[in-house]
Every structure is written in C-alpha cells, then in structure tokens.
C-alpha cells in the first residue's frame, strides 16, 4: 500500500525503474466489435505480498482441484476499482459509527475534508485513461462509479476498523512526538496504532517547571499532601482508566487559581480534554440528545464549570458517567455505536449544586477539593496561564510521574478533601437531617407515619419527596433500623418525636 499523498502526487503508481507507460490508445466514439473475453483481472503478486491484510484471502476457483489462485473481479468493474482504492489508501480506514477516518501523522481523525474522494477519483481517472471507448471512460470517471468504489471499499477487511479498536490502550498517551506508555513513563514512536486524540505537547523529562511548582504552592496554601494528591489525580486524568469512579469537584469562592489550573490542564490535554456544559450534568425535563454523549468517545477529561446555584445534580447520570460501563451514542446524522468510556469528570464552581438525598453511591463518587487561597490586587498575575504554557513539556512530565504514583499508591485522598467531601454530603443528606429534626433512634413506628412526616418536612423546604418505595430503601440503610411486617409495614429502631407525632396525627 502507498499513502494517499504519494498516490495523488503520482508516486508509486508503477514499480520503481519500470519503463514509461505506453501512450493511451485513441478513444473512439462508437463501440467497436467486442474483443475476446479477457482473463479475470488479478492483483499483482508483489502487491498481495506487501499488504496481506489488505486483500481478501484466496478463494479456490475449483475446490475439488484445490486451485489456490484468488478469485478476483473483472477488470474495470466497481469491485476491481475498490481493490485499487484499498491499495492506494494506506492513510484511510472506515469504522461503523465513525465513518471514514484519516491518519494526519499525529492522530486519526474523521475525514471531514473528503480526502477519500481525491483517492477514489484518481483511481477512476487512471482506469478511464486505459480504455479506448469514450462511453466506457465516462462511466469509469463518473460520480456513480466513484461512490460505488468507495461503498465497496468500506467493506474490505483491510479498510474496516471496529469501533472498539480506536484508542483501545487506556494507558497510552499520544503526543506529537510519539506515545507515552503510562505504565512505565517511557516515550515510544507511534506505529499504526488507531489513536484519535493527542496531548498538546510531548513531555520533557529533563526539563524544569519552577513557575508551576510556585503556582501550586500558592493555590493550595502550602498544603503538601493536597499538592501530592493533585499530582496523582492529574496522572489519573490523563489515562483512560476509570477504576476510581470518582468526580473531582474543585470548589472555592473568588479568585483562587482554580480557573487558571483547569484552563491550563484542558489546554495541555489537547484533544483528550473536553469542555462539557454543566447543564449536561444537571437534572432537566427533557432527555439528552445522543450526540451529547457521542463527543465523550476517546476523551480522557471532561471539565464542567459555570454551575447554577439553584440546580440539582442528575444523580443517576453521575453514577452512569462514573461507572465502568459502555455508552451507546451517535454523531449528528450518524449511526449509533457503542464505546467504552474513558473520560473522568471534573467540576469547577463557586457554588455547590444541590443533591436530592444522601445516596451513599453519590457520596462515594464525589471528591470536593477546596481552593482556599485568595489572590487580590498585585497578587493576581494576568499572565500566569501563558507562563504555565511556556513550561508545558516539563509540566506534562510531572503529570506522567503522577500517573506512575497513582498506579502504585492510588489517589491517597488527603484529610482536607475527605473532610470537605463529608461536609458537602452531610449538607445534602435530607434523610439524616429529617431524622435529626423529627425522629428518635429507638422504639418502632408505622411506615405510613414516618413517610408522612418526611413528605411534610420536604414540602416545607419547597422540595418534592421521593416515592415511598425509594424512601423505604434509604431508611433501612440507617444504622440500627430494620423493616418488619406486623400489622402492616413497621420500622424498628426509629420513631417520631412526641411533637412530630402530634403534627402527623393533626395533619391526618
């Protein structure tokens, strides 16, 4: 196979050192007498040997005789032109759901500039130049023939790449200089790997980044444990591994450096990072369009900011996006496809969106990282982002070291993050707040009385209560509370206070 650029430039069309092609025979406008039937067109042996994966396996013409010669299409047929296209398009592949993909030297990307048509048209033009009948030449150079050849080529085994093969190595970080193996921290040359994303720069393991280290010291107020945690977290972010199943919530009021930090990490990550609208993570009345999820394919980090103070997290979506499952989505006007999620989510905000309840699955996923610094007046550096970009190669090397530390030690969440996360969840654990205000952890009570009290308490806060079934599954998670059936559903280990029981009876 040859690259499409060489092919379009006319290189590789005939063997090196071969004599010039004979002049094309003059075309005639009428159809001459039919020539003797030509032998089936065969791909030259040297091409078959050079690219065994690009040509279908030989099919015996006569199984009884065991003829090993390949069954090839007639000369100038659509199928023959498709085989010629495959041999001249080493930079192109086709994948269901993604369509035609083009290797640009650093990554594979969707062929939005239609380079495949350049190749297919040249293949058809060369074929048209080799026939003597005008009508046949026009047929070969027609849009119908070009499209037919492309349609057949996208089914060729040498062209088809399954969706699961793209960005399959979750511990490989593609860069302009090659691929960093995050298992070892070593940089290697990119081969034919099907990677569709790339970081902005390559790491410089011999470089230094004093501005970066000074910036982290200022932003995290000299908290060494928190800085170490952020290094491991960033190393986790640049991988495609999702084993931690957490969301980092970077929180802090005012000018504290969190926006500069996340803007820089987004820039450094290149196409591996994605700016995701915060609204996509919040509850909404309508369903999400599948194209919103399609953009997550192949990404390592999705950053959401500009949170609404009065919004609620879509807790079921949070659990889905931090799980270890696949997603089904599609691009605009494209087919649905399934892909393994590789992205981690980071939320940046001055406000903390509300949660509907104290779901332990959500509590386990939420890591609230406090930004307590305040930069005012001369302390604020408007050029800090540019200064960090100047140190980007060395900073990426520092983050790669963080990936190695994460694989050895895990995230190792420091006390400051654990405490901030626990406080956030406690503030939004409506069930525990209701228990503290309206219940005693002793005795027993009817399920109906307890649920009526909880519903009234939620209504007084301007909130809707969950269904009794959902509420019941949560209340049994309280320590010391058990469910039993005796004269109706009752709960042991909990009862309403005397005043609350009077309010419930009065409401009934």
Q: What is the mean pLDDT of the chain?
A: 84
Please report the pLDDT score of residue 291 as a whole number.
Answer: 65
For the segment 146-164, the average pLDDT, to the nearest whole number, is 95
> Does pLDDT of 507 surpass 80?
no
DSSP secondary structure string for all residues of 76-119: TSHHHHHHHHHHT-TTEEEETTTEEEEE-SS-EEE-TT-HHHHH
Per-residue model confidence as pLDDT tens digits over 455-502:
999 999 888 888 999 899 889 989 999 999 877 899 999 999 999 999
Cα(88)–Cα(150) distance, rounded to whole angstroms? Answer: 12
Q: Residue 58: which pLDDT band, with cuts at 50, 70 and 90?
A: very low
Cα(442)–Cα(448) distance, rounded to whole angstroms? Answer: 17
> Does pLDDT of 435 surpass 90?
yes
Cα(252)–Cα(54) distance, rounded to whole angstroms? Answer: 55
> Does pLDDT of 353 surpass 80?
no
Please report the pLDDT score of residue 191 as a whole number.
Answer: 86
Query: Greater confidence, 288 or 55?
Result: 288
Q: Residue 124: which pLDDT band, with cuts at 50, 70 and 90?
A: very high
Looking at the chain, the whole-number percentage of residues with pLDDT higher than 90 is 60
Q: Residue 322: which pLDDT band, with cuts at 50, 70 and 90?
A: confident
Q: Residue 20: which pLDDT band, with cuts at 50, 70 and 90?
A: very low
Q: Residues 435, 478: contact at Cβ < 8 Å? A: yes
Query: What are the helix (H) ranges across 366-446?
Result: 384-390, 392-409, 415-427, 430-438
Q: Residues 33, 21: contact at Cβ < 8 Å? A: no
Please report the pLDDT score of residue 171 as a whole number.
Answer: 98
The lowest-confidence range among 229-238, 353-362, 412-421, 430-439 is 353-362
The lowest-confidence range among 20-34, 228-242, 266-280, 309-323 is 20-34
Query: At a CB cut-off of 8 Å and minimum separation 6, what does 506 contact?
Result: none
Please report the pLDDT score of residue 277 as a whole number.
Answer: 83
Query: Greater confidence, 94 or 477?
Result: 94
> Does pLDDT of 403 surpass 80?
yes
Region of 370 (left: φ > 0; alpha: ψ -120 to 50; beta: rest) is beta
Query: Greater confidence, 330 or 419?
Result: 419
Please report the pLDDT score of residue 348 as a whole number.
Answer: 92
> Does pLDDT of 231 surpass 70?
yes
Q: Residue 297: which pLDDT band, with cuts at 50, 70 and 90?
A: confident
Query: Greater confidence, 30 or 129?
Result: 129
Please report the pLDDT score of residue 361 as a whole number.
Answer: 76
Please report the pLDDT score of residue 37 as a whole number.
Answer: 42
> Does pLDDT of 42 surpass 60?
no
Please report the pLDDT score of residue 332 as a whole number.
Answer: 66
Q: Other C-beta atoms within 10 Å of 362: how many?
A: 20
Question: HSE of 459 in the Cβ direction (CA atoms, 13 Å)?
Answer: 6
Task: Compute the CA torsion angle 198, 204, 210, 214 (nearest 10 deg).
Answer: 30
The lowest-confidence range among 146-150, 154-158, 211-215, 284-288 is 284-288
Query: Greater confidence, 112 or 13?
Result: 112
Structure tokens at 345: 């989510």
Helical pair 258-269 and 392-409, crossing angle rounded to 10 deg:
90
Domains of the chain: 4-161 (no CATH), 210-427 (3.40.50), 430-507 (1.10.10.10)
pTM as predicted: 0.77
Please report the pLDDT score of residue 399 as a whole number.
Answer: 99
Structure tokens at 249: 């919530």
Query: At a CB cut-off of 8 Å and minimum separation 6, what does 92 contact?
Result: 4, 100, 101, 102, 103, 111, 115, 116, 119, 159
For the segment 142-154, the average pLDDT, to the nearest whole number, is 97
The lowest-confidence range among 100-104, 303-307, 409-413 is 303-307
**Paired sense of beta strands 247-251 and 344-349, if any:** parallel
> Does pLDDT of 309 surpass 90?
no
Please report the pLDDT score of residue 307 as a whole number.
Answer: 73
> Does pLDDT of 358 surpass 70?
no
Q: Residue 280: which pLDDT band, with cuts at 50, 70 and 90?
A: confident
Q: Residues 473, 427: contact at Cβ < 8 Å? A: no
User: Whats the size of the chain, residue-wise?
Assistant: 508
> Does pLDDT of 413 surpass 80?
yes
Looking at the chain, the whole-number percentage of residues with pLDDT higher than 70 is 81
Please report the pLDDT score of residue 26 as a whole number.
Answer: 47
Query: Greater confidence, 29 or 405?
Result: 405
> Does pLDDT of 11 surpass 70?
no
> Does pLDDT of 66 surpass 50?
no
Please report the pLDDT score of residue 494 as a whole number.
Answer: 96
Cα(382)–Cα(257) distance, rounded to whole angstroms? Answer: 11
Please report the pLDDT score of residue 156 as a whole number.
Answer: 96
């Amino acid at each position: 196979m040859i690259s499409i650029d060489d092919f379009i430039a006319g290189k590789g069309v005939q063997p090196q050192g071969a004599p010039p092609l004979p002049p094309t025979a003059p075309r005639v406008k009428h159809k001459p007498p039919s020539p003797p039937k030509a032998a089936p067109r065969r791909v030259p042996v040297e091409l078959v040997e050079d690219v065994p994966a690009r040509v279908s396996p030989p099919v015996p013409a006569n199984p009884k005789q065991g003829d090993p010669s390949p069954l090839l299409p007639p000369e100038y047929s659509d199928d023959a032109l498709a085989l010629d296209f495959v041999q001249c398009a080493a930079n192109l592949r086709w994948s269901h759901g993604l369509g035609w993909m083009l290797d640009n030297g650093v990554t594979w990307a969707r062929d939005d500039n239609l380079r495949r048509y350049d190749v297919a048209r040249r293949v058809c033009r060369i074929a048209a130049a080799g026939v003597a009948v005008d009508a046949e030449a026009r047929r070969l150079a027609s849009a119908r023939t070009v499209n037919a050849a492309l349609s057949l080529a996208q089914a060729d085994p040498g062209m088809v790449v399954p969706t699961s093969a793209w960005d399959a190595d979750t511990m490989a970080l593609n860069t302009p200089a090659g691929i960093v193996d995050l298992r070892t921290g070593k940089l290697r040359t990119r081969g034919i790997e099907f990677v569709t994303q790339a970081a902005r720069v390559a790491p410089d393991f011999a470089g230094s980044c004093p501005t970066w280290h000074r910036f982290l010291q200022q932003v995290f107020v000299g908290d060494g444990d928190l800085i170490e945690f952020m290094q491991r977290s960033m190393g986790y972010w640049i991988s495609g591994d999702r084993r931690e199943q957490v969301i980092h919530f970077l929180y802090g009021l005012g000018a504290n450096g969190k926006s500069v930090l996340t803007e820089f990490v987004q820039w450094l990550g290149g196409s591996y990072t994605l700016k995701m609208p915060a609204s996509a993570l919040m509850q909404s009345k309508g369903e999400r369009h599948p194209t919103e999820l399609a953009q997550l394919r192949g990404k390592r980090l999705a950053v959401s900011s500009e949170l609404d103070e009065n919004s609620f997290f879509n807790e079921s979506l949070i659990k889905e996006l931090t799980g270890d499952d696949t997603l089904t989505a599609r691009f605009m006007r494209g087919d649905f496809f399934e892909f393994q999620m590789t992205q981690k989510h980071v939320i940046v905000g001055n406000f903390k969106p509300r949660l509907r309840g104290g779901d332990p699955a959500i509590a386990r996923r939420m890591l609230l990282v406090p930004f307590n610094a305040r930069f005012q007046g001369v302390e604020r550096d408007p050029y800090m982002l540019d200064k960090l970009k100047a140190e980007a190669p060395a900073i990426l090397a520092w983050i790669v070291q963080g990936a190695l530390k994460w694989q050895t030690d895990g995230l190792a969440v420091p006390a400051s993050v654990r405490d901030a996360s626990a406080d956030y969840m406690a503030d939004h654990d409506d069930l525990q707040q209701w228990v503290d205000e309206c219940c005693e952890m002793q005795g027993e009570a009817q399920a109906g009385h307890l649920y009526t009290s909880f519903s009234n308490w939620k209504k007084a806060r301007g909130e809707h209560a969950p269904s009794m079934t959902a509420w019941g599954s949560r209340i049994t998670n309280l320590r010391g509370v058990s469910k039993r059936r005796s004269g109706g559903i009752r709960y042991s280990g909990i009862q309403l206070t005397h005043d609350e029981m009077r309010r419930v009876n009065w409401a009934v």
